[in-house]
Structure formats: C-alpha cells, structure tokens
Structure 1
C-alpha cells in the first residue's frame, strides 16, 4: 500500500462512523451452560466436559449467575431488560468452537436500547447501546511456527478448549456518528468507561491483557456530509472490523489507522472490503483476516435445548438495587471531598492513579500529598521503566508511610526520593530504608552551626548582603549548607541559624 494520507487529510474529505463490540468474560465459578470451572491459566483441556465439547447427547443448562450479571450490566448501561428472551445457535465452522456453533442470542437479546455517557477531555459524549446479549466464549488457538503467530505460515495449531463455554456478555453500540477528529479518543474513552463500569459491578476482572475484556472495532468512512445534514441522511460506508483489540491505547490507534487506510483505498478509486482484520501492536497496522459474514450467513435459529429466559420485573428491580455507585459519580464525589480542580482530577485519572490516590488517602495521607507522589515521582519512574504506575511495585500504604516521615520531619521531599529508590529495590519498609541508608534529617544545632559557619566563611560577599538587610540572599547559604550535609539538614533550622549569626 502506498503512503497513507495524514489524519487531517482524512478529516477534510470523509466522516468516520464507528461501532464497538466489547466482549466481557464473566467471573462466574462455572461455565455458561455446564459445570466446568473457569479459572484462568489451568493446564490446557483440563476444564472441559461433554457439554462444552459438544459431544452427542450432552445437554446444556443456563448459568443463573450469568443471567444475573447480564441483567446488572444492562441496567448499569441504562438498557431496557427483556421480559422474555432466548438463545440461538450461531452456525459456523472454526476449530476453536467444538460444537460447530456458538450458543448466543440473536434477535432477542436480554438487554437493549441503552446508553453510556463518556468524558473526553471534559466534554461529554453519549454512546448509544444497541444491545447487550449473553453468549459463550470460544476456545483458544495457538499457531506454532511462522513469524507472526497467525495461522498463515504456521506449521501447526494447538487448541485449548478450557475457555470454550465461559460466559460472555457482548455489548454492541449503535453507529457512533459525528465524532470527527475525536473518533479515536471517543473509542478509547468508551472502552475505558465500560471497563470501569464492569469492574465496579464486580462481574468480571476486566483484564484486557488476559482477554477477559476484548474490543472489536468497526469503522467506515463516508464522503463528508454537506453542511446541515442530519444523522438520518448520512449514508454509511463499507465497514471493516478489527478483532480482539486488547488495550485502550490500541483501540485509539486502531481507529486512527483504519481511518487512514480506508481513506487511502477510497482516494485511489478502490472499494473497501467488508472483512475482519488483525491489529498488530508492534507495527501499529492492521492486516486482513477473512471476509466478514453478515448475520444471515450464520444461519441463526433458536436453540432447541434451552428454555427461554424470562426474568420477572420483581427480580430485575431487586438487581437494580444492587448496583454500586457509578465510577464517574464516585469520582465527582471524591473530587469535591479532596478539593481537586478539574484539571488535577483529569490528570490523576489520565495517569491511571485515581484508585492509588484514593487508597493512599485512606491510609492517612492528605489528598494533595498523595496526588503529588503518584503523579510526579512515581509516574516518572513508571514511564522510565515502561509500566503502568499501578504495576510499579510501590503500594499506597508505603506512599502514606513516606509522607508521614516527611510530615514528622524525619526526612524531606528530596530524601523521600531516595526512600522510593529503596522501596523499588526491595530494601524493606520506609522506616527501615531511612535507618539503613542514614537518611534522617540532621537537626542537631552543633552540627548545623558548624556547617553554617563554614558556608559563611566560604561566601563572605553573600554574608555581607545579609548583614546589609538583604534577607533573601540567605537562600544561597542555606543551599550551601544543604549540599554540605547531603540534603539531610533541617532547612528551616538552617535558615534560623544563618539569620541569627548575620542579622
């Protein structure tokens, strides 16, 4: 493919439309239609039975906890909950689905017609939800040999059916129109908000790195609509579907890349192929997978071995009462309690440090002190090592302990940085590190007085300025004393001694 047009060039000629399909693995103890365990990381093909392997005569039974989780997700997404719905068979041949069909929901989902409001740099963007339906996950294929890890070029493939049958909720948006240049950001913000919501509900650990939440990114471009056009007049272009994008950053990058790729095809007079595509994190591009099937190609028909699901209105309202405080409502409440500005709060959330700051405050730190450490010293170290700040290896309790040492006058901010060095090196508690490294601030007047005398003797011109009433010049002598004492002097007491000796 020739060089892609710039993002600005795409926006000058085309309007993007997106659709996001997010698959959430539920954290039930057993699979959706059988009693097999669902623990992540078990030996391959040890958590299977005749039902999830699709053996003749095996009969499925619906997991009640899975249905409950689906209803709670639907309610949290402001959806209507069906009074009656049923499962269907989605027929296709693929080796990771041992039955040759997937038990899913087709035209009768359990939840539908909802929405989720997401924040994009202070602006609220409403994403409309078409449906949230129940289904089962497929097995995991590992392609051995070849350079890409894909089936093309592999020597052989291995299938682990442990994941086959794990409860899934698929959340499907309506076409997202009008996002324009912010389309990549809106996609990322939506998946991030949805992940937050799922974690708050407690129905999944939502680990993108383990595949327990995965996003499929549908994208199309259409010629830029004339001014004054309404959404109903917009003609959507041919879409591509980038499958199983497994990080927030990749969702944003995949949308941006696909917008540029589609524009390149259209600018050259070509036609976009309706297909699935694979995202490559290392190169930041997508590659073709297979031609995308339409719904009729799956030959859906009602699952004959499962009875319909008909949640009573009383049960639905009972589950509505179990919904937790929504993450964004909780953030607004805590922002007011902590006294953070909107910018401070956005930076805290954007750095992935919100929960860490909250936990540090719970351990006794003042809000601004907790924020300071996580967003400066610790965020810098996380960036240097290429990990998220939550994965750095320093706990909120440890940060709170460091802050107590600062507030108690045992160390200052500069020495605290050395304490964090020790924490990252596994040298013990903050108190143990201070003792072992000899970091405690020196406040003994004898030692400080000697250091002040030396600084005065070595800087007579500055001393004369102070004697003449230029008290601001004392900072230079204080700095000299701090350097002499390796940052361990009590700066406040040093200032007092300087002025006592020279005033």
Structure 2
C-alpha cells in the first residue's frame, strides 16, 4: 500500500415533490418528451421563478436527518455554463450560502464504525436530457427532452473522508437508506433520482497534502461506483509509479469495458461565474419552521437497529439487514405483532421473503406472502402442527396463491404427525429395512442418525415431528 486514496462523493438527489422547484410543471417520470414544460422552466425571456415551499421543507428534513446545521439565511445563485439541454444557459443553484452545513453519516464495515463528514447540502434545479439518435431514426442527430428541466434536486457533498471503494459504497447505501426513511426521494437510480459523482486523488501513505483529483461521472449503481473507484485508483497509481503527473479532469465510467475515459478538463468554481440570482430573494428559515420539520422525522436507521437488537433480541447482522430498507423493517414488525418469535420471523424474512423480493424486483409488500402469513407459518411450526420443511412448502403455496397458511395446511393435509405410537411404528419399519446401517450406527457411526431421520421423513412425506423422530431413534437404537 504505497498510496492512500482520498475520495469525496457528490450525490444529486431528486426530491419527490409533485411539481418543479420554480414552477408548477409536473415532475412525473416517463411522460412524452417536452410535455411537462412551461415558459418558466423553458427559460423564456421575462419569466420569474417562484420557489416551491415543499422543496425547502424536504431539504431541511434531509439536513436534520444527516446531522447538518440548518442555515437561517441561504442564497440562490446562478451557475453559468452551456449545455444543449440547459435552456437558460445557467442553472439556479446555491454556492456561498447553502441551506445545510457540517453534517455527517456513520458507516460500519466489518464491525468498525467511521464518521464521514458532509460539507454541505444545497438546493438546485436539474437540467434537461439529451437523447442521442441511435433509436430515433437518425444516429447522426441528438434530441433534447426538457421535461426534467427544473426538477428539484439537492446536492449532498461529502468531506474527503472516504479512503476505500468499500467505504464509498457503504456511505452511499447508508445515505440512500436514510433518504428513503424520511421519504424525501424514491432514490431510484435507474430513473436518475439518485446520481453520484466521485472525486478521487492519491497521495503517498503518511502525506497530509492532497494529490491532484479526477472526477468520475456516469455511475448508475453502487456496484459501478465501487468498480469505477477501484479502476481509477489503479490507473492513477500506475501513472505515479511511472513518474507521470495526474491531470485534473472529468472522466466517464464505461461499465461495459470496466474503465474510465477522459471527458473534459475539470472546471473550477470560477469557471461557472457564480453570482446571486437577482430574481430570488435570500431564503430566511425561522426556528419555528425547523422545529416543525424536525417533529415529522421518523425513527432513523441507526436508532431502529439499536431498538431491534434491544427490544427483539436480534443479532447485529439480522438487525442490519432488516433496517437496510424501511419496508423490510415495517414488514418485520408487523409480522412480530401477529406472533412473538422475532428471531424465527427474522430468519424467514431474510432467507425466503427477501430472496423472492430480489428475484421479482418488487416492493416487499407486493408479494402474496404478507407479514401475517409469515407469523402464521412460524406459529404453526412453534405449535408443532407442521415441520420446518413443510413450512417451506406452505410458504411456496402462499406465494403462489396468497391463501392463508392454516387453510393450505388443512386443504393439503399437511398437519404434522405428533402421535408417538404412530411415529414409533414408522421408525421401527425404517430400522428393520436398513439392518446394515443399524449395525454401523451401533459400531460408532453416530452420524447415520441423520440418514434414519431422512428415511422416516420420506415415509411420512415430511409430516413426522422431527423432535419426536430423533427421540424415538435414540431410544430404539440404544
């Protein structure tokens, strides 16, 4: 480890307001091109922006959840640059006086906790979208869709506290989870609701001065962020090892080739010629407003994890998985309300339910298996009415039909056999059919008990009470 990486992330988050930041146009995703536009977001001469109050409230909410100081006075600025899909020729953003400062997120990797500082959060409007013509009739042409112009964003800028690609990924996952908990954004990376740029530089281990940084854009998943940073660290290290110089530039990530490629020289703040927007007065946020927003904050992930461990006796790993998504946590708690066996319910959610959520790519509450169904399956097992193996069979039938587990057990005749005399007869039958295995068991091969259990289960189609089966096997084999 000759070099230390210094990584800072800039995350753009689309807020879940129904209208844009400075006009009443819809923010709905997927509409026909250039249908959610008006003179304000098209930048027509003479129009005036009007600030969306909910954008401010959502930004304050994000700032509070990310441990920021909310500034009583903030100012909107014009950031001047030319994009074909930026109609005004400038973006309304915030520069010298943003609304949130000095926050942090705590991440945990392999049991080690670390605070990552947040420099600032500021509000801004999104630009439009350029669509290149491969699928639009003429590869030689590009088209502009301005529906996204004026959609409200917050930009969350981290301190350069991140040192590894794994820390970067953990930071982004934690940030996404918090934003989803407070319901200010859907954080849908595929639709561009959460976008990340990474600034990366290297310096010799032990050095305190920063190296020359490059910025990487065009990353649409946590995995790609991690891969891009890994590649960029190797690329820069190779240049430094060969005596070369790192060029400050913006680079694009090519996920297909697994490389970063040069896009343009990196802009500095003076390149954008920031100045206060003359059409928007300074934003004054009173204490009462901050307190009102604070009262709407839900229980946040770290607090929920601590409570799950304390209240439900869950291991740290289980709690971490369940709180990683607000819907998972809600699903778990609704299940436990129906049957108080938190650890067993947690096991079922993590092994069965989340597998199907990932396979189907759906919200956990969209599955046919509802929280009360998981509770019912666990209760049927706890009451000795079905075995764990039958429980998995019942789960699959619930997943397919949405029927109650108890009803499925009744209809399919899956009630567990717990009659000791009936099971004893089957055990005797199995032992008589396998004399060689019985002899080997008696000669010390105790692991053959699993074989006998399997044979009994086969005979009973999985319906024998496994606890009774094991007890009777030990009794008869001894």
TM-score (normalised: structure 1)? 0.83
Q: Does 1:405 align with 2:376?
A: no
Q: Does 1:284 align with 2:258?
A: yes
Taking the TM superposition and a 5 Å limit, the aligned residue runs for 1:76-475 are: 76-145=65-134, 154-176=139-161, 179=163, 183-225=164-206, 234-346=208-320, 354=329, 356-378=331-353, 385=359, 390=364, 393=367, 394-426=369-401, 428-431=403-406, 433-434=408-409, 438-443=413-418, 448=423, 450-460=425-435
Q: Which residue matches 1:59?
A: 48
Moved more, 101-110 or 444-453: 444-453
Quote how far apart the aligned CAs of 1:418 are. 2.2
Q: Which residue matches 1:68?
A: 57
Q: Matched residue of 1:225: which SS?
A: coil
Q: Which residue matches 2:458?
A: 483
Quote how far apart the aligned CAs of 1:344 are. 4.3
Q: Which residue matches 1:8?
A: none
Alpha-carbon distance in 2 for matches of 1:392, 1:223 = 51
Alpha-carbon distance in 2 for matches of 1:48, 1:493 = 70
Moved more, 426-435 or 362-371: 426-435
**Structure 2 vs 1, CA of residues 483 and 389 (structure 1 numbering), >3 Å: closer, same or farther?**
farther
Asked if 2 retains the 8 angstrom alpha-carbon contact of 1:378 and 1:389, the reply is no
Alpha-carbon distance in 2 for matches of 1:290, 1:471 = 70
Asked if 1 retains the 8 angstrom alpha-carbon contact of 2:354 and 2:364, the reply is no
Alpha-carbon distance in 2 for matches of 1:488, 1:402 = 15
Q: Which residue matches 1:40?
A: 29
**Structure 2 vs 1, CA of residues 175 and 461 (structure 1 numbering), >3 Å: closer, same or farther?**
closer
Quote how far apart the aligned CAs of 1:449 are. 5.5
**Structure 2 vs 1, CA of residues 390 and 254 (structure 1 numbering), >3 Å: closer, same or farther?**
farther
Q: How many residues align?
A: 474
Asked if 2 retains the 8 angstrom alpha-carbon contact of 1:141 and 1:158, the reply is yes
Quote how far apart the aligned CAs of 1:50 are. 0.8
**Structure 2 vs 1, CA of residues 292 and 359 (structure 1 numbering), >3 Å: closer, same or farther?**
farther
Alpha-carbon distance in 1 for matches of 2:453, 2:238 = 63
**Unaligned stretches of 5+ in structure 1?**
1-11, 227-233
**Structure 2 vs 1, CA of residues 359 and 208 (structure 1 numbering), >3 Å: closer, same or farther?**
farther
**Structure 2 vs 1, CA of residues 408 and 265 (structure 1 numbering), >3 Å: closer, same or farther?**
same
**Structure 2 vs 1, CA of residues 168 and 341 (structure 1 numbering), >3 Å: closer, same or farther?**
same
Moved more, 71-80 or 347-356: 347-356
Moved more, 277-286 or 104-113: 277-286
RMSD over aligned Cα, in angstroms?
Answer: 3.5
